[in-house]
Structure formats: structure tokens, C-alpha cells
Amino acid sequence: MPIDSGNLALKGLDDLFSTEEKRQEEQREQVQQIPIDALHPFTNHPFKVLDDEAMTRTVESIAQYGVLAPLIARPRPDGDGYEIISGHRRQYAAKLAGLDTLPVIVRQMSDDAAVILMVDSNLQREHILPSERAFAYKMKLEALKNQGARSDLTSCQVGTKFRADESLAEDSGESARNVQRFIRLTNLIPELLDMVDEKKISFNPAVELSYLDESQQRDFLEAM
């Protein structure tokens, strides 16, 4: 029987297009429905999830429409569920709304990449406490420095630190000096840091207090 070269050509094109479609499908991130109890908070997550008026509105919205924007998570190293990278408030609100599962994009990410995405996604919020910003900046700076150390082993430590500071400042819309001043707040004892969040101590005096050791800070607290 003669071979129809036209059919062969069409068949080859079909295979080519189906292979490309499959390749694109594999590259496209899939949204999975994951049990809400299998989603765990990010380690040392610096942003607080509060039962405030905004949370009440989020719960009401989720109860009515569901979770419209999927969370981003990564598998935990021990295999016990997933670590939330973006979506802590949505998970909390979904629990209050009585949902059993949530839409989640699961990504394989290194610790440093996960920290950077977690911080960047939360810094978009309208209201961020000074303590949240302070610890978020500190975590992201360390992650950027780690990435710089791995990608440029010939550079000196000071150079890597400078680039990390500048990168963080550019991403956050702050000056490098102001980023470092926020990070100074992480040296405050919890009681004083709470007072900064509560606007009982303003930012500039809080930065100066951060240079005192713990004993001196507690003496200052008692004097207040």
C-alpha cells in the first residue's frame, strides 16, 4: 500500500503541536484544592494576623464568594503538609468562614527565595506595623545576602552586604539608611517594640533606644 506523505506530514504537525501544548501545560502553574489544616504558617512569619475590622470584611467576602486569589505555598521538608508563603490572612479568614479546602499554587522554593516572596507579597498591604516592617526587612536582607554570597563567591562580604542593602531599599521604596533604621528596631525588647506599634514611642527615639542593651532598655521602661 502506498504511503500518503500528506497524511504523514499532518500527523507530524499534530504531534508537534500536541507536544508544545503539553509542554506549556506542564510549565503553567496549577491551582490545587488543599485541605485547610494541611497549610501551616511560614516559619518566623513577621506579619501579624489580627481579628480587626478588615478581617471581619474578609471573612464576610470569603463566606459569600470563596477565596478568589489562590494562596502560594511550598511543601514542608518533613512532608507534613505545606508552608504558606502568601495568604496567611486568607487562610485564617477561610477557617472563620468554615471552609475545608483552599485554592493553592504549590511551588518548590529555596528558603531564601521563599522569604523574599513572602516579604514582598505582604509589604503590599496598606497598613503595616513598624515591628512587622522591621523584622520583614531583616529577613529579606539576610536572604538577599545569602543569594549574593552564593552567586558571587569572589566578592568581599562588605560588597555583598552593600548590594543587598541597595536591592532591599530599591524594592521597598525606602532609602538604604531608613531600611537599616527599621532593622534597628529588632534590637528592642518586646515591651518597647509594642509601644512603638502602639505609637506610644515614635520612630526616631525608638531607633536611639535600640542601641541600649537589654538591661538599659528595661531600666528605661521602668523609668517610664
84 three-class SS = strand
CA 175 vs. chain centroid, Å, equals 21
- pLDDT score, position 159: 46
Banded pLDDT at 194 (limits 50, 70, 90): very high
- HSE-up of residue 146 (Cα within 13 Å, Cβ side): 13
Q: What angle do CA 99, 55, 90 make, to 5 degrees?
A: 45
- pLDDT score, position 156: 42
CB of 119 closer than 8 Å to CB of 140: yes
d(CA 186, CA 134): 6
- CA distances 29 to 14, 26, 106, 126, Å, are 24, 8, 8, 28
> The whole model's pTM is what?
0.76
Banded pLDDT at 24 (limits 50, 70, 90): low
- pLDDT score, position 127: 85
The 10s digit of each residue's pLDDT in 77-95 is 888 999 999 999 999 999 9
d(CA 112, CA 143): 5
Domains identified in the chain and CATH numbers? 29-109 (3.90.1530.10)
Q: How many CB atoms lie within 10 A of CB 160?
A: 20
Q: Tell me which of 103 and 51 has the higher pLDDT.
A: 103
CB of 91 closer than 8 Å to CB of 84: yes
d(CA 148, CA 152): 6
Q: How many CB atoms lie within 10 A of CB 145?
A: 19
Residue 136 gets which letter from DSSP?
A: H
CB of 126 closer than 8 Å to CB of 154: no
- Provide CB contacts within 8 A for 56, sequence distance 6+: none
Rounded average pLDDT over 58-74: 95
C-alpha cell at 152: 558571587
- pLDDT score, position 17: 60
C-alpha cell at 6: 500528506
42 three-class SS = coil
- CA distances 81 to 47, 98, 118, 154, 199, Å, are 21, 20, 18, 38, 38
Tell me: pLDDT of 4 over 90.
no
